[in-house]
């Protein structure tokens, strides 16, 4: 099977690539702001991904690519939802976005997402620890000066890790650079 890049083909592929990037960006913004990925956005991603796959390939292979990606994306991340390690929105989002890339690429995107998610988790924990330390320092200073009273700085939005951001990055990398994991 020949490897293809979304930006190496005709103008329609470039438009589809831009649409996919915008949709991934919308997921990232929503996940960072609210720690939620709306079902309507997930549905749009799935429908457009299926349409893209059917337009890029003959109808039956396109449907097979989209449904295979959906099934693999769901199967890979659903156990993490059951174990309460991921939210349902993250799982649905990854499965929907996998309609754009197919089953094989979904495996690669999941691996990249897991690696990027691990890095994000380390940064997230370090950032939260920094906010807590800053809060303790400000409270101690306020208690000494009696001017402000104990105050706690605003923590970063939400206590949950925005894992959809890592998933979006993994999906985008595999979409733009198909097969680059195989080259390593």
User: Mean pLDDT throughout 104-110?
Assistant: 95
Confidence band of 145 (pLDDT split at 50, 70, 90): low
Contact at 8 Å (CB) between 27 and 37?
yes
Contact at 8 Å (CB) between 103 and 172?
no
Mean pLDDT lowest for which of 41-55, 78-92, 146-160?
146-160
Long-range CB contacts (within 8 A, 24+) of 2-7 = 3/178, 3/179, 4/178, 5/176, 5/177, 5/178, 6/175, 6/176, 7/176
Rg of the chain over all Cα atoms, to the nearest angstrom: 20
pLDDT tens for 19-70 read: 999 999 999 999 999 999 999 999 999 999 999 999 999 999 999 999 999 9
pLDDT over 70 (residue 133): no
| 147 or 51: which leads in pLDDT | 51
pTM of the full predicted structure? Answer: 0.78
User: Mean pLDDT throughout 107-118?
Assistant: 95
Say what the pLDDT of residue 86 is: 92
| 149 or 99: which leads in pLDDT | 99
Domain boundaries, the chain: 11-183
Q: How far apart are CA 146 and CA 72, in angstroms?
A: 58
Q: How far apart are CA 32 and CA 16, in angstroms?
A: 24
């Amino acid at each position: 099977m020949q490897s293809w890049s979304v930006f190496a083909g005709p103008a329609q592929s470039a438009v589809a690539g831009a649409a996919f990037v915008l949709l991934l960006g919308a997921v990232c913004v929503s996940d960072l702001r609210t720690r939620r990925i709306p079902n309507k956005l997930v549905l749009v991603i799935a429908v457009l991904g299926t349409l893209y796959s059917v337009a890029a390939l003959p109808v039956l292979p396109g449907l097979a690519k989209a449904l295979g990606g959906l099934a693999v994306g769901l199967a890979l991340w659903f156990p993490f939802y059951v174990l309460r390690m991921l939210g349902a929105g993250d799982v649905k989002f990854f499965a929907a976005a996998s309609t754009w890339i197919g089953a094989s690429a979904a495996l690669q995107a999941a691996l990249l997402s897991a690696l990027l998610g691990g890095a994000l988790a380390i940064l997230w924990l370090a950032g939260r620890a920094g906010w807590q330390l800053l809060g303790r320092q400000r409270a101690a200073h306020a208690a000494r000066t009696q001017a402000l009273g104990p105050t706690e700085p605003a923590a970063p939005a939400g206590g949950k890790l925005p894992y959809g951001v890592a998933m979006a990055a993994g999906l985008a990398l595999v979409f733009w650079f198909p097969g680059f994991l195989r080259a390593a």
